Amino acid sequence: MRAISRLLALTVFAAMTLSVVNSSFAAEQKMGHMDFAKVFDEYNKTKDFDKQLEAKGSAKQGDRDKLVTEIKKLKDELDLAADKDKAKKQAAVEEKLKKLQEFDRDSREALRKERDDMARGIFKEIKDVVDEIGKKENYKYIIDSRMVLYGNASDDMTARVLKILNDKYATKGKK
């Protein structure tokens, strides 16, 4: 009987210890998630930069259109040129076509590089805000919502991170 009492007492003690350890472990494992793509897309700085890139792209398109117009004019002149002038006109058309191809390649590369640099900077800003929240509030993990199969809405930090970023951007001025 005494052995059974000890066993029962030991079992109760073990259960209580496991319960305390389990709850303290759970408390240490604070986790959150956020939709990184949504934060990136809805961040006002991203929207402003997209408008800037679009304007630059439109300006490049205007320059390209001028080159295309010049090429069409040269082709029309080529069609009307005398045989002795055709070789010279053909060379001019080919030279303009080469310039157009270089312009297209250089423009695409410049816009791509600028977009990539912008994205890297914004990714870093987002990560810095998430790191700050994680450190201040003792989060063990903050992960991208795309990797979460199930998560409580209360653990979703998307709106919070987006608000912090947009508030900071508005305060610093739209640089």
- Helix, strand, coil shares of the chain, percent, nearest 5, are 85, 5, 10
The percent of residues in the chain predicted with pLDDT above 90, rounded, is: 61
Question: What does the pLDDT look like over 159-172, one tens digit per residue?
Answer: 999 999 999 999 98
Question: What does the pLDDT look like over 129-165, one tens digit per residue?
Answer: 999 999 999 999 999 999 888 888 889 999 999 999 9
Question: What CATH number corresponds to the domain at position 56?
Answer: 3.30.910.20
- Whether 126 contacts 168, CB under 8 Å: no
Residue 21 has pLDDT above 70, yes or no: no
* Number of domains observed in the structure of the chain: 1
Q: Return the bridge partners of 21, or none.
A: none
Question: What does the pLDDT look like over 74-111, one tens digit per residue?
Answer: 888 878 877 777 888 888 889 999 999 999 999 999 99
At residue 76, the pLDDT reads 85
Overall size of the chain counted in residues: 175
Domain that holds residue 167: 2-172
